[in-house]
Amino acid sequence: MNRHTTTGPVVRISSPQHCPERDDPRWTDWLTGTERVYAHSLARAEEHLSARKAAKEAVAQLVGWPGTPPWQDMEILRRADEAPVLRVRGRLADWMGEQGLATPRVSLTHARGYAAALAWFPSGGER
């Protein structure tokens, strides 16, 4: 079965990465304004920022995106008491639609200056 159409989970884990400083100018390339504002509202902002970047890297790898991840086409949203949710738009959303891919789910973790994330395709019964 093609890994892009399977209903079972397909997992890719990003490598743990040391978190760049919270004011590193690269964050404006990697994360949306909404993501940066959210992360900067929390203690250890650099860990929250890095976890979002790691999730985007994991998603790009999972879906098989050719080339540099389209950072601004992915956004990790978080509401109080809810798990992070990936929103896909733009050329990535168009490309995923052409490939018949579901929007991946994501999980983020961070501690002691490091961050990691994983992405998977939802199973048939997962909402």
Name the residue ranges covered by the structural domains of the chain.
11-120
- Structure confidence by residue, pLDDT tens digits, 21-46: 888 888 999 999 999 999 999 998 99
Place of tokens 């540099």: 68
What are the structure tokens assigned to 117, written together?
A: 């994330």
Q: pTM of the entire structure?
A: 0.84
R_g over Cα of the chain: 14
Q: Which fold has domain 11-120?
A: Ribosomal Protein L22; Chain A (3.90.470)
Structure tokens at 102: 């579901």
* pLDDT above 80 (res 4): no
Q: Is the pLDDT of residue 8 over 60?
A: no
Task: Look at 106 and 126; give whichever has higher pLDDT.
Answer: 106
Per-residue pLDDT, averaged over 71-92, amounts to: 94
